Chain A
Amino acid sequence: MSKATEKTERSEIVSILVSNEPGVTARLGSLFSRRGFNIDSFTASPTNDPKLTRITIATTGDDHKFNQIMTQTAKQEFVKTISIMDAKSIYRELLLLKVKAGKKDRSHIMEIVEIYRGRIVDLSRKSMIIELTGSSEKIDGFMDMMSCYELVDVCRTGVTGINRGDAGISDPVE
């Protein structure tokens, strides 16, 4: 194991495969909070194997913190594999946004949605619901554009990701 000395903070996406059993989220949340690890976003859902759940956590820290995040998490009984994802991996987030949109604003908003390749999934006389998928940066950009409208509800899923190529997320690097 090499020396962990880099003190600058960075953000990483950590992918964790865990047993799909009650209480796993509480255990992981407890670990992260008691050890002072950040959770910037957290997504979880079962995999093709119903006994396993994939959890993707966006977190921040320096080398020392990441060393602790990885080793403290890896030793939990319910954790099967854990890895920090490659920056070149594919990351996606889903946004559902409800915005006030009367006659005056509707076409302006639709233009922005078009540029971001979003979809309008529900429309009423005074509001609409927009669905947008993409990288967190893209969604941040869209949210910035939309900030001048009257937003009713913002629901972001948090980031999930998968690596490119043939290898699985947690396969050892050749």
Chain B
Amino acid sequence: MRLNGSQLVMEILLEHDVDTVFGYPGGAALNLYDALFEYKEKIRHIMTAHEQGASHAADGYARATGKTGVCFATSGPGATNLVTGLATAFMDSVPVVAITANVADNLIGRDAFQEVCISNIVIPITKHSFFVNRIEDLSDALHDAFRIAGSGRKGPVLVDITKDVTAKIVNYKQKKPMDFSEKPSFSDDDLNRFASMINASDKPVIYCGGGVATADAGEEMRKLMEIADIPAAHTLMSAGVIGYNDPRGLGMAGMHGTIAANKAFDRSDLIIALGTRFSDRVALNPSKFGKRAHKIQVDIDASEINKNVIVDLGVHADVKEFLTALLPLIKNRKHEEWIEQATGWKKIKGDVKSCDAELHPSEIINTVCENTDRETIYVTDVGQHQMWSAQYIHHEKTKRFITSGGLGTMGFGYGAAIGAKIGCPDCRVIHFTGDGSFHMNLNEACTAVSQELPIITVIMNNQVLGMVYQWQGAFYGNRYSSTDPHRKTDFVKLAEGFGAKGFSAETPTEFEEVFKNALKEKGPVWIDCRIAKTENVYPMIPGGGTIEDMIIG
């Protein structure tokens, strides 16, 4: 068929099952948006308030649905506004394809109006980027973009297309998406060694990462836990893989993880790392991390093996395929004493309600969880509220806790919640945020209002930038530099200004009542919850520390 470049983009999106894109139009993108108008029955375009919101929405959409998220932006500032969103997706291995329009090829390199070289800007924060200035290269670039984003360790890819190419006519024969189901092969020798190390261990512990969720290997991992009687801790990125009430579950590992998870790593004789990268938020001190343990690791990305922590055996493999082959080699064992010891540490807890404020974050989160079902998607921003959400939500399923783990992007939440709700319209979406994070990108309220998305935003409002404030209190002698901004924002009025609904709550009873009302609303709701600025996130292991440095609260 004869198509122009923009129609070709639409056809290739359809070939890849893309029915939703997030974006923002502009001069260089006029042809692309004209094609979107033509294809509007097949491809829904969600216009956000800001391109950053579109990039987070594509990311949230991908995390909630497991599909590749797509966002559009125009040249120059449109394209640069995607950068934080792409970096966020890159750090958390989320498949996103960003399509940007650039100025026409005859203007490239002349500092034309709204020209930037976005394909070079994003080199360090994407799996790959394409600059397309010849119509004959467009189809291959787009097919490759989807292959790269969705294969191996997933991640974002950007395709930058010059404006003239979006208008040029080309003959196109429909193609099938490229096959990228092939996984790295691993040797029987690695498999046998892996199995014998597990079989010989007296105090094994599983260190489960986001790769287990991405590879959909939760079932295989839980079988391993059961057959060999192994306790397991999860990272922020794999909340929900291990059921909240799993008798062998130790909760979240790392800086704000549970005592049980961190202690188990420290006392274990074998750490089984699955789809995880020993990040500095878990292996806070890489040379002392799990110092009594042998370490074995499976990862889809060979460069993650021996990167942060040196392991005794590393296998480059898809964790689901590897575990499937491994399970028959695993002996039935009982580690009663070890399990009892490891899960026993779960009972040691800091004082949850450490100050006498009326409304505590745990009460907010518990009320939310009691009034929502298992399919609910919880999305967070970044900071104290994020850690409280990670700690207190009863995670039961994957793709149901959406958070910026690697990059720690404040302002991620609202866009991501919009993407999640668009991708999973039948799921309830709750957006937990703080007053700091929310101020960054709350402009996306207009998107939630236009799209009539009943997203409930729970603002844990302590009037300060809580996480930094906490560190200044703990390590900088209460010198609260630029964390106490004395803002006078009235979130209830602001919500109403956007055409959303605003509530506020100062006590647990008030919150419960307001939240139940919020659930009945047909559009977006904000709930401003006053919490104490002195409330800290515990437990906590300071950066670079070990279990010995843990502050319980």
Scoring A residues 26 to 53 as 1 if CB is less than 8 Å from chain B, else 0, what string do you get? 1100110010000000000000000000
Scoring A residues 1 to 17 as 1 if CB is less than 8 Å from chain B, else 0, what string do you get? 10111000000000000
Size band of the A side of the interface? 20 to 34
Binds A, one of B117-125, B225-233, B351-359, B375-383: B117-125
| Minimum C-beta distance from A61 to chain B (A) | 13
Q: Which of A5, A27, A68, A78 contacts B307 (CB 8 A)?
A: A68
Bound CA–CA A76/B148 (angstroms): 10
Bound CA–CA A4/B120 (angstroms): 33
Nearest B residue to A67 via CB reads B306
B124 near A1 with CB under 8 A, answer: no
Bound CA–CA A71/B277 (angstroms): 14
A22 near B131 with CB under 8 A, answer: yes
A64 near B306 with CB under 8 A, answer: yes
Given A1-B315, A1-B316, A30-B124, A64 and B305 contact (CB-CB distance below 8 Å): no
Q: Which residues of B contact A104 (CB under 8 A)?
A: none
B124 near A64 with CB under 8 A, answer: no
Q: Which residues of B contact A72 (CB under 8 A)?
A: 303
* A23 on the B face (CB < 8 A): yes
Bound CA–CA A171/B119 (angstroms): 32
Given A1-B314, A1-B315, A30-B123, A23 and B306 contact (CB-CB distance below 8 Å): no
Which chain B residues numbered 276 to 315 have a C-beta less than 8 Å away from chain A? 301-303, 305-307, 310-315
* B128 on the A face (CB < 8 A): yes
Bound CA–CA A74/B303 (angstroms): 9
Q: Which residues of B contact A71 (CB under 8 A)?
A: 302-303, 305
Bound CA–CA A30/B314 (angstroms): 27
Nearest A residue to B314 via CB reads A1
A3 near B310 with CB under 8 A, answer: yes
Nearest A residue to B148 via CB reads A77
Given A22-B131, A23-B131, A77-B148, A4 and B119 contact (CB-CB distance below 8 Å): no
* A88 on the B face (CB < 8 A): no
| Minimum C-beta distance from A99 to chain B (A) | 38
Bound CA–CA A165/B110 (angstroms): 49
Nearest B residue to A72 via CB reads B303
B306 near A27 with CB under 8 A, answer: no
Bound CA–CA A153/B167 (angstroms): 50
* B127 on the A face (CB < 8 A): yes
B interface: dominant SS: mixed
B123 near A4 with CB under 8 A, answer: no
* A125 on the B face (CB < 8 A): no
Q: Which residues of A contact B307 (CB under 8 A)?
A: 68
Bound CA–CA A76/B120 (angstroms): 15
Bound CA–CA A22/B315 (angstroms): 34
Q: Which residues of A contact B303 (CB under 8 A)?
A: 68, 71-72, 74-75
Nearest A residue to B123 via CB reads A30
Q: Which residues of A contact B119 (CB under 8 A)?
A: 23
B305 near A1 with CB under 8 A, answer: yes
Q: Which residues of B contact A27 (CB under 8 A)?
A: 123
Q: Which residues of A contact B144 (CB under 8 A)?
A: 77
Scoring A residues 85 to 109 as 1 if CB is less than 8 Å from chain B, else 0, what string do you get? 0000000000000000000000000
Scoring B residues 130 to 163 as 1 if CB is less than 8 Å from chain A, else 0, what string do you get? 0100000000000010001000100000000000
Given A68-B303, A74-B302, A77-B128, A26 and B123 contact (CB-CB distance below 8 Å): yes
Q: Which of A3, A68, A74, A77 contacts B127 (CB 8 A)?
A: A77
Bound CA–CA A31/B314 (angstroms): 23
| Minimum C-beta distance from B425 to chain A (A) | 34
Q: Which residues of B contact A1 (CB under 8 A)?
A: 302, 305-306, 313-316
| Minimum C-beta distance from A84 to chain B (A) | 15
Given A1-B305, A74-B302, output 19 extra A-B contacts at Cβ < 8 Å.
A1-B314, A1-B316, A3-B311, A3-B312, A4-B306, A22-B131, A23-B120, A23-B131, A31-B124, A34-B124, A64-B306, A68-B303, A68-B307, A71-B302, A71-B303, A71-B305, A75-B302, A75-B303, A77-B128
List 23 interface pairs A-B (beta carbons < 8 Å), by A numbering: A1-B313, A1-B314, A1-B315, A1-B316, A3-B306, A4-B310, A22-B131, A23-B120, A27-B123, A30-B123, A30-B124, A31-B124, A64-B310, A68-B303, A71-B302, A71-B303, A71-B305, A74-B302, A75-B152, A75-B301, A77-B128, A77-B144, A78-B128
Closest 5 CB pairs of A and B: A71-B303, A77-B128, A1-B314, A71-B302, A72-B303
Could you tell me which A residues sit within 8 Å of B by CB distance?
1, 3-5, 22-23, 26-27, 30-31, 34, 64, 67-68, 71-72, 74-78
